Copies of this chain bind each other. A is one copy, B any other.
Amino acid sequence: MTIRTQHTRITLASRPQGLPTLENFRFERGTVPQPEAGQLLLHTVYLSLDPYMRLRMNEGTSYAQPVGIGEVMVGGAICRVEVSLHPDYHAGDWVLAYTGWQSHAISDGKGLRKLNNLERPSLALGVLGMPGFTAYLGLLEIGRAREGETVVVAAATGAVGAAVGQIAKLTGCRVVGIAGGPDKCRYAVEELGFDACLDHKAPQLAAALAAACPQGIDVYFENVGGAIFDAVLPLLNKDARVPVCGLIAHYNDTGLPEGPNQVPALLSTLLTKRISMQGFINFDYEDRYPAFLQTMGNWVKRGEVVYREDLVPGLEQAPHAFIGMLNGRNFGKLIVAVS
């Protein structure tokens, strides 16, 4: 018997009010499930932690069903096939699976993506996975960024933001990032090649952003919301595009912020500047995935797009790391090394 014969998992113990706490999660142990004919036993190597998971902890439907109390927290993971009773898979295969916060899972093979050709399987959770695809889609397809335009993205060193900025640079855009703290800002400029990166913790963000965007903003890739959106709005150019892929600043909100109600000002800006604002979710665009993987794969291979992973060892660390991410404490794509 090895340690792998113990099944560990993290379930939702209770629904958070605002920022989650460790008490909202429960670490459980059990015996490893056994696959039946046509099934696979997967064991998790890397678990992805992503902001959208916060929404799944709430009651009520967002764009997907909430996680039930007592259920395993959802999430994408890189797994190896431990036992295969399925004709299409063999023990040792690497797969991308949506198995969540647990060490093992049974699968019937549906929805798995084989990763045998990847040199570094964890990239399928970041730059070559959902975050990278979200960046690619949002910037090029929804945002229609073009050479010479100015692109602004917040959470600039996060998995999505870093990809947005680098793809925008490869497209010939001026790129201004917003990130938390001087280390992240320096990394965005020096390693990712952003033209500028502003610290959202510094005072007078609006003035700094205006100075960094002398030609205004043509694409604001919205993955944050809050004060950053307020600073961006007056700088948007005629015909600007605002793809909306996330609102991490609001995921812990327990109510609406104080007034005044800025909706009329927002609508008025959309009208007078003919701005297009569109929410999107990567899984609506599966048909674009092969083209993304080809293009982004080449960029990564040639070093034109770089990435940074923030690896946390051990499934039991997932709740703490996840709460840290909601507070902006991760630096790069947050991944739990489960085994």
Interfacial residues, chain A to chain B (CB-CB below 8 A): 62-63, 222, 225-226, 229, 244-247, 250, 253, 255-281, 284
Copies of the polypeptide in the assembly = 2
* B262 & A261 in contact (Cβ 8 Å cutoff): yes
* A267 & B247 in contact (Cβ 8 Å cutoff): yes
* B262 & A256 in contact (Cβ 8 Å cutoff): yes
The residue of chain B having its C-beta at the shortest distance from the C-beta of A265 within the complex is B256
**A256-B247 contact, Cβ under 8 Å, with A274-B281, A276-B276:** no
Contact of A279 among B62, B261, B272, B278 (CB under 8 A): B272
Q: Which of A261, A263, A274, A275: most chain B CB closer than 10 A?
A: A263
**A257-B261 contact, Cβ under 8 Å, with A277-B276, A279-B274:** yes
**A267-B255 contact, Cβ under 8 Å, with A260-B261, A272-B62:** no
Q: Supply 9 further A-B pairs (C-beta < 8 A) apart from A257-B264, A258-B261, A276-B276.
A: A63-B271, A63-B273, A225-B264, A256-B260, A261-B261, A269-B279, A274-B278, A274-B284, A276-B278
* B244 & A271 in contact (Cβ 8 Å cutoff): yes
* A271 & B284 in contact (Cβ 8 Å cutoff): no
- The residues of B that contact A277 with a CB separation of less than 8 Å are 270, 276-278
Question: Measured between alpha carbons, how far is A63 from B275 in the docked complex, in Å?
Answer: 12
The minimal Cβ–Cβ distance linking A137 to chain B, given in whole angstroms, is 12
Contact of A280 among B229, B244, B262, B274 (CB under 8 A): B274
Contact of A256 among B63, B246, B264, B276 (CB under 8 A): B264
Question: Measured between alpha carbons, how far is A266 from B271 in the docked complex, in Å?
Answer: 16
* A279 & B270 in contact (Cβ 8 Å cutoff): yes
- The residues of B that contact A63 with a CB separation of less than 8 Å are 271-274
- The residues of B that contact A280 with a CB separation of less than 8 Å are 274
Q: What 8 A-B pairs come out closest when comparing CB atoms?
A: A259-B259, A256-B260, A270-B279, A271-B279, A276-B278, A63-B272, A250-B264, A257-B261
* A263 & B62 in contact (Cβ 8 Å cutoff): no
The residue of chain B having its C-beta at the shortest distance from the C-beta of A233 within the complex is B263
The residue of chain B having its C-beta at the shortest distance from the C-beta of A62 within the complex is B272
The residue of chain B having its C-beta at the shortest distance from the C-beta of A226 within the complex is B264
Question: Measured between alpha carbons, how far is A270 from B250 in the docked complex, in Å?
Answer: 14
Question: Measured between alpha carbons, how far is A98 from B252 in the docked complex, in Å?
Answer: 52
**A263-B266 contact, Cβ under 8 Å, with A273-B63, A277-B276, A280-B274:** yes
- The residues of B that contact A271 with a CB separation of less than 8 Å are 63, 244-247, 279, 281
Question: Measured between alpha carbons, how far is A259 from B262 in the docked complex, in Å?
Answer: 8
The minimal Cβ–Cβ distance linking A225 to chain B, given in whole angstroms, is 6
* B267 & A261 in contact (Cβ 8 Å cutoff): no
